[in-house]
Amino acid sequence: MKTISQRIAEELGVGEFQVAAAIVLLDEGATVPFIARYRKEATHGLTDTHLRQLHERLAQLRDLEARRESVLNSIREQDKLTPEVEQAILAADTRTRLEDLYLPFRPKRHTKAAQALEAGLKPLADRLLKDPSQPPEALAVAFVDPEKKVADVQAALDGAREILMERFAESPELTGRLRAQFLEQGILGSRVVKGQEEKGAKFADYFASGEALKKLPGHRLLAMLRGQEEGILRLSLDHPEELDDALGEAVTCVSAIRSHFRLVNREGPGDGWMEETLRQTWRKKFKPRLENDLLKQAQERAHEEAIRVFARNVKEVLLAAPAGMTPVIGLDPGLRTGVKVAVVDATGKVVATDTIHPHAPRNQWRESMARLAELARRHGVRLMSIGNGTASRETEKLVTELGRTMPDLGLRGVVVNEAGASVYSASEFASQELPELDVSLRGAVSIARRLQDPLAELVKTDPKAIGVGQYQHDVPPRRLAEALDGVVEDAVNAVGVDVNTASAPLLERVSGLNKTLAKNIVSFRDLHGPFPSRQSLLKVSRFGPKAFEQAAGFLRIRNGATPLDASAVHPESYPVVERILHRVGVTIDRLIGNHTLLKELSPRDFVNERIGEPTVKDILAELEKPGRDPRPEFRTATFREGVESLEDLQPGMILEGVVSNVTNFGAFVDIGVHQDGLVHISAMAHQFVKDPHNVVKAGAVVKVRVVEVDKPRRRIALSMRLEDTPATTQSTVKADRPRPVAARPSPVPKADNAMAAAFSQARGKPGRG
């Protein structure tokens, strides 16, 4: 039996010693970012990705071990634990295999088989199994006993059949064999529930379809399961032979049961009865259980896939390029209620708010331009952040015209994704941070700050509200929350946090900190002023040595007691820097950023019993570019003038847009018409694309070609293959669709259009009036 460390090492393709060292650190309370950055010697360089996977798998395998022990204890208490059973249970490497082995020993309800056993029908069942040469009815006569509720021969035979069916169905080896066969060949079919056609129009692609479960993409499975949950679809997992009108039953599965128990058909009087018993064993025992098992496993895989997609998108959004801490005017567009305006200074502090009404019904265009110009002049603003909701293009036009008519202002408008801004506005933290502002104005503040520093602002919002998920409402909330929390933690610690300006929500995502410590840091800062050094953090209530060890390297103090406090060099490594300074004979100010001098140093010269070569290399790299930001350079898309709504789009147009979401079947792109378009995976490149994330990421600026505009259904098909003809791309897209189920001839439209429709409905820019 392999240890947990061995199994994880094999799965991750790393050394067992690396996994064992990481497990020790995790059990001691170290965080993934801390281990990845500051304990490379212990883990021999495991990355944060490795460590996240390791952490998750560790929890799963420990759960498996706990269940294994529970199963063993249960069988021991029944006094049925033989050495063979114990060995098989100890060797079980999955939860499914473990439960198969436990099935014969699992405490049962009072089944029909149990009733038959109580009625004394076991000897009849045994004789029918061993001797098919005798007529079953003749053998059953001796077991008729009305007092035992065996009223007649048929009742005796039915009871014997129940006993044999339960016996057959409890074989772990046979169960595993049939499960593998069913997984390999099973077809998941879906039909519309009669009378639900109109209500379930968005699931029309699945009204009569079927696809091999093994090959069914996770996003389509989740769509089908959602349709079933809403009462629109009826799903069934069938063996291909069961869909064949000529057979109507899973012959090979029945044969597998017969073969496993070595039941040879000798054409005796009892063979027909036994054959029917085998067929019923498949239909009543195996198929329902395996159908449930396989669908559950497929759903779990789809959940994991959806969580990975969501987590990856969230990370890309959080690590989007910041415009920098410069004064910004945030505009939260609206029609009837007006455009909410908030001005934030270079520290993110709100210095002015307003509401303008440039659009219908008031149409105060000139007055709105004048008020924005006055705010820009007064506060030295050069950037305007425009939320991408209702009236965003109209508001962008206002800013563009303002820049043209008053070039001295040097104004530039940038459209930002406002997803989650309303959630933040109504949150408890927003009411504490901006108590004097109306909820609607808080949204404008958030939109402004998102341009300055997306990471610092978005951490204030539940990551599920950022709007870059794939069926996030269908996955287990706890597992999704854990994955997204890990992503946010990794993003925050990769960038680092200025402890003298960071908000409490940002601080609580720092390695080693929590909500209480974050609040204590902010309170201490408000009371005593900026922290002069990292060491002074130890004066904060409950900020002990362990928290300091985990957090200090990720906290930055600009213009503090030492330049090292503004870098990613951990305080525990400051003595190494002192040795370097002693070796080169210069001050820290002259060493930092001195590329020539640093390149002459050998990391091996500064290794000791505590600090290894990987850490020394990191220190030298950090001294070269202290506090470097891993995020890309700030860049924005330029929406095409005159293309502001679906009606303005024409096939063949080449447009620039921003990737708003990446899924397994393609990417959604905001091209400035209040409705994201879909670049299907088949239209992303000239070569085969296995994963859209390998081509684009959320927040990327891309050029796309309009392929098709479906105005009634508000769908936009885009392509990143700019020189293709629309017909070429469309024919490629059509190839990806669910297959009609055998004996259910009804061609269906593109399956992934259903995904696009669902996303479009979820991501449509709702009007605010």
The burial class, CB within 10 Å (0-12 / 13-18 / 19+), for 604 is exposed
Element (H, E) at 188: strand 187-192
Third-level CATH fold of 4-105 = Arc Repressor Mutant, subunit A (1.10.10)
Ranges of the chain with pLDDT below 50: 725-737, 739-751, 754-769
Dihedral, CA atoms, 679, 682, 684, 689, nearest 10 degrees? 130
Q: Residue 289: phi, psi to the nearest 5? A: -70, -45
Residue 657 near residue 704 (C-beta atoms within 8 A)? yes
CATH of domain 112-306: 1.10.3500.10
Q: So what's the pLDDT on residue 268?
A: 85
8-state DSSP, 568: S
Q: Where are the alpha helices (DSSP H) in 419-514?
A: 421-425, 428-433, 439-452, 454-458, 477-495, 504-507
Residue 362 CA from chain centroid, whole number: 44
| Annotated domain spans of the chain | 4-105, 112-306, 646-736
Q: Which CATH class is domain 646-736?
A: mainly beta
Residue 537 near residue 519 (C-beta atoms within 8 A)? no
Considering only CA atoms, which of 294, 33, 301 is closest in space to residue 182? 294
339-344 β-sheet, strand order: 350-356, 339-344, 328-332, 383-387, 412-416
- Crossing angle of the two packed helices 172-185 and 251-260, in degrees rounded to 10: 160
Q: So what's the pLDDT on residue 712?
A: 85
Q: So what's the pLDDT on residue 244?
A: 79
CA distances (Å), origin 77, targets 65, 86, 103, 186: 18, 13, 15, 38
Residues 6+ apart with CB under 8 A from 559: 566
What is 601-644 written as a DSSP string? --GGGG--SSS-HHHHHHHHHHHHSTT---SPPP----PPTT--
Q: So what's the pLDDT on residue 730?
A: 39
